[in-house]
Amino acid sequence: MESLSCLVLRPAAPTRLSAPRIPQMAASRSSAFLSSFAFLSPVDYQFPRTTAKLALKPTKASASTVSTTPSTTTTVTSTATACTKKVLVPIGFGTEEMEAVILVDVLRRAGAEVMVASVEPQLEIQASGGTRLVADTAISTCSDHVFDLVALPGGMPGSVRLRDCEILKKITSKQAEEKRLYGGISTAPAVALLPWGLLRRKRTTCHPAFFDKLPTFYAVKSNLQVSGELTTSQGPGTSFMFALALVEQLFGESVAKEIGELLFMHSDDDKPRTEEFNKVDWAVSHTPHVLVPVANGSEEIEVVTIVDILRRAKVDVVVASVEKSVTVLASQGVKFVADKLIGDAAESIYDLIILPGGVAGTERLRKSRILKKLLKEQDESGRIYGAVCSSPTVLSKHGLLKGKKATAHPRAITELANAVDGPKVVIDGKLITSRGLATVLDFALAIVSKFFGHARARSVAEGLVFEYPRSLKI
C-alpha cells in the first residue's frame, strides 16, 4: 500500500544556505540519456570509469507504458516495476522540503514504494523553510526492512538530525555493506554520510557551502555524482536530476527517460526560458503578499517548490485550502495542511494569486466560488495573478485570459485561445503562466525577478544551486 506524507505549510522566515558558484569539472564518462535533459549538461554529472555501467545499467525488461487516464500527473508503469522497489526517505527537524518532496514525488511516479520516516520522537517535523512534514512512520519501525534505496535529503539542521540518529546510521551502513543503493543531496553527504564512514573511496559532491568538508581527493565539483552504489547531488535546484538518476538505477533508462519527459526536464535549447509580452513593473513598496490556493489533487511539487522559493526571497506566502478542511490530499499521495481555509484567506488583499496544477486539483479550484470571486477582484483591481500546469484553464473558464498570451501543460494548452507553446514561462502584463512540474523553478524565480529584480532572483537561484541567466534577458 502506498504511504502518505503530510505537509503543513505555514509562513516562516526560512534560514537558508548561500551557495558560492563552483566551476564544473568535465565528466570522465557521460550518459547520452542524462545529457538530453535540461537540468543536465555534459559537465553536470560525473561517472567513474569503473562504476558507471554498474550504477546506470538499464533493467532488461524496461519497455514502459503510460497510463491513458487524462492527467497531468501521470505515473509510469512498466514490466521493470513488477517487483516493487522499496525506498526509505528519512526526515528530521530542518530537512529541506523541496529536496524531500521532489524525491518522494518522482520516485513514486516511477512506481517505487516510498517510506518517509521521521528520526524525531514525533512524526511531525518542521522543515527548513517553515513547512511542516508528518512522516509515514518512525525510523524505529524501519530497522527490519530491506530497502532497494536509502536516500537522504539535505537541509540544516536536518542533516545533523539525520546524522545523530543511530538507527538510521545502522540502516544506511548496512545498505552500503550489502552493496545496495544509497545517496544524499545538499548537506547530507558532508554532514551525515561522511561521519558515518560511507564516503570512503567514493567520489562525492554536495552543497557548495559544504564542499570543503569533503575529502579533497574524492571531492567532485559537479551537480550530480554516481560512484558505485552511492549517488550524491548539490541542492534543491538539482533535486530533479538527483531523483531521476536514482530512478534510472532502480528501474532502468527507459523508465527514467519517460519520467524526465513527463516532468518537462527535456532540453529545448532553441526556445526561450521565459517570454514576456506587454511588460509592466511589478515592484511594490511593501513585502509582497501572495496567495497559493490548494485543493485535493493539487500537484505537490508545484505547491512546495513555489512556496519554498518565494519564501527564500522573503515573500509573505499564504497557502489556503478550498476544501472544507485545511488538510488536502495532493496528486501523488502527499498530504498538505494549509495555513487557512479560503474563506478566511479571502479577508486579505494579495499582490499575487498563484494557482498550482494537478488535474483533479484544478477542477476543484475552478469550482470554488470564493476563489473565483478573489480572482475576478484581482483582475478588476489591476493586481497580478498566475497559474501553472493545467490550472491556466481555470483562468480561461473564468474569462481572465481574454486578449492575453499564456502557456500551460501540453494536455491543457489547446484550451487556451492565445497559447504560446515553447517557453517554460510566459508573462503578459500582470499575468504569469508556466507548463508546470520541473518548470516551476523558472516560474517562481521569474516572479522573484519581477518583484525584486534580477539580482535577487540570481541570489536565490545560487542558494538553490540552480542555473539561472546572468543577464536581465531571460
Angle subtended at Cα 197 by Cα 112 and Cα 105, rounded to the nearest 5 degrees: 20
351 contacts: CB under 8 Å, gap ≥ 6: 284, 288, 289, 290, 383, 384, 451
Q: Which three cell numbers, joined as nine digits, stand for 420?
A: 504560446
3-state secondary structure of 431: strand
Instruction: Tell me how far apart the alpha carbons of residues 439 and 309 are, in angstroms, rounded to a whole number.
Output: 13
Instruction: Tell me how far apart the alpha carbons of residues 321 and 330 are, in angstroms, rounded to a whole number.
Output: 11
Look at residues 109, 349, 364 and name the one whose alpha carbon lies nearest to residue 240: 109
In the DSSP assignment, the letter for residue 275 is E
Helix (H) or strand (E) holding 185: strand 181-185
Q: Cα 125 from chain centroid?
A: 19
Instruction: Tell me how far apart the alpha carbons of residues 35 and 265 are, in angstroms, rounded to a whole number.
Output: 10
Q: Which three cell numbers, joined as nine digits, stand for 164?
A: 545523530
Q: Which residues are paired to 289 by β-bridges?
A: 316
Cα dihedral value 259, 260, 262, 267, nearest 10:
-160
In the DSSP assignment, the letter for residue 36 is G
Look at residues 401, 393, 344, 357 and name the one whose alpha carbon lies nearest to residue 376: 401
Q: Which residues are paired to 9 by β-bridges?
A: 131
DSSP string, 243-258: HHHHHHHHH-HHHHHH
- 83 an active-site residue? no
Ranges assigned E (strand) in 2-55? 5-9, 45-46
Look at residues 471, 446, 473, 472 and name the one whose alpha carbon lies nearest to residue 460: 446
Q: Of the residues 6, 165, 206, 389, which is catalytic?
A: 389
Helix (H) or strand (E) holding 125: strand 124-126
Question: Cα dihedral sign for 349, 350, 355, 361?
Answer: negative
Helix (H) or strand (E) holding 206: none
Instruction: Tell me how far apart the alpha carbons of residues 372 and 346 are, in angstroms, rounded to a whole number.
Output: 11
Q: Which three cell numbers, joined as nine digits, stand for 66?
A: 503510460
Instruction: Tell me how far apart the alpha carbons of residues 123 and 5 are, in angstroms, rounded to a whole number.
Output: 10
Instruction: Tell me how far apart the alpha carbons of residues 97 and 133 are, in angstroms, rounded to a whole number.
Output: 8
The catalytic site residues sit at 389
